[in-house]
Structure 1
Amino acid sequence: MTVTIDRTASTGRAPSPRARVSLTAAPGSLDGVWWPRSRALTRELPPLADAVGGAWGRITGITVSPAHCPVIPRWVSLAGRIVRVDWSAERQDPHRLTLVSASGRRDMLVIPPETGAAAAAELMGTAAVVPCQERAADAADTRGGEEAWETDGGAGRAPSRPGGIAGRRRT
């Protein structure tokens, strides 16, 4: 029996959806906001690199926090190249992703994938507003008041700020 494999045939996989990204033009601590569709980095990072590559150049390295990623690959394939993925629990903010290119290091706020569309759209629209990482954490927090009180050590969520996003109390 002879078997022929046609590598030009469709794999049955749909092309990756475009990354949901908002780049900031204002100087500050964040260079953009990214709202991935899942926590699967091998699937989510290539569209992100494609989306920012035109503005920032070819991505040569990525650093993530392990706090919200169940699996961190050692490398991902970006446009036919292998790019190393590093992680740091101590140095990397759990709500940030760092992309490295020839033009330098770029930090992006990562909106959790389970965040609702309205909250994510507001975060992406206000990308240059600081402190974004607090807002991302609040947008994804769906716990009840008592559960938030217990797990946050008594520092529950404050009433909504103007603009519709609840903030955390400062102690």
Structure 2
Amino acid sequence: MPASFSASDDTGPPPQAAAGRRVRAMSATTDRPPLRIVPFRAPTARLALKPVSTSRGLLDGAWWPRSRDLADELSALAEVLDPLSGRITRIAVNATYWPAVPSRVPVNGHVVKVGWFTTELDPHKIMLLSHTTGSWNLLVIPPETNAPAAARLMAAASDSAGPPTTASALMAAEHALHGSSMTVLDQDSEETWENGDDTSSYRGAAARPCRLIATK
């Protein structure tokens, strides 16, 4: 004989109570949307800049990219400078030491156009244009450079006390004083150094501490 159940046999909550709980649960879900986990992204550009209050001269600092993948490296660099100087609007590079130059890169939610040159721009320099500062002129330290050489170059390029100097002259000075532990220098850099630059100014600038913006 099949079993029969009456309403009194139901050990669950009254329908009204269950319905009330469901309503409260739905209300809680609506009032508090589920948390969304956003991964933290640390600054990846290795960068040293001159103090803002000093005369900027020929160079504003130095940049040490981690690779020769210019598309990724430019985005990381511009994302650091963008909030410091107003929106970066254009980037200019010399194509001599880059295997590929992108036409544009994403930066903080907008797109920045990239132009390349072979003679008009120092092969060891990069220029970033912005609405506020006008331009950032940075020494580009080759990715293959060892850490001590990179530290000396960053300090020299971001030094505000030394005489104005070009990016290629700094690279040539490092090569003359410490050997060829970096990348192969171009012919113009070596000639710039041999034509009379003084190593003492580079020694002094490279020995001073520099203001690192991001190094991770």
State if a TM-score over 0.5 links the two structures: yes
Larger Rg: 2
Identity in percent: 37
Matching residue of 1:30: 59
Matching residue of 1:118: 148
Matching residue of 1:91: 120
Pairs within 5 Å for 1:14-29? 15=41, 18-25=44-51, 26-27=54-55, 28-29=57-58
Pairs within 5 Å for 1:7-156? 15=41, 18-25=44-51, 26-27=54-55, 28-103=57-132, 104-127=134-157, 128=159, 129=162, 130-137=165-172, 138=175, 141-142=180-181
CA distance in 2, matches of 1:121, 1:42: 24
Aligned length: 149
Higher relative contact order (CA 8 A, sep 6+): 2
CA distance in 2, matches of 1:56, 1:19: 16
CA distance in 1, matches of 2:128, 2:84: 12
**What is the deviation of 1:136?**
2.4
Structure with the higher strand share, 1 or 2: 1
CA distance in 1, matches of 2:65, 2:107: 16
Contact kept in structure 1, 2:145 and 2:181, CA below 8 Å: no
- TM-score under structure 1 normalisation? 0.71
Q: Which runs of 5+ in 1 are unaligned?
A: 1-7, 166-171
Change (3 A) 1:41 1:124: same
Contact kept in structure 1, 2:124 and 2:167, CA below 8 Å: no
**What stretches of structure 1 move > 6 A for 4+ residues in a row?**
155-158
Contact kept in structure 1, 2:146 and 2:181, CA below 8 Å: no
Segment of structure 1 superposing worse, 77-86 or 130-139: 130-139
Q: Which amino acid aligns with 1:123?
A: L
CA distance in 2, matches of 1:83, 1:58: 9
- TM-score under structure 2 normalisation? 0.58
Q: Which amino acid aligns with 1:101?
A: S
Q: Which runs of 5+ in 2 are unaligned?
A: 1-35, 207-216
Q: Which amino acid aligns with 2:81?
A: V
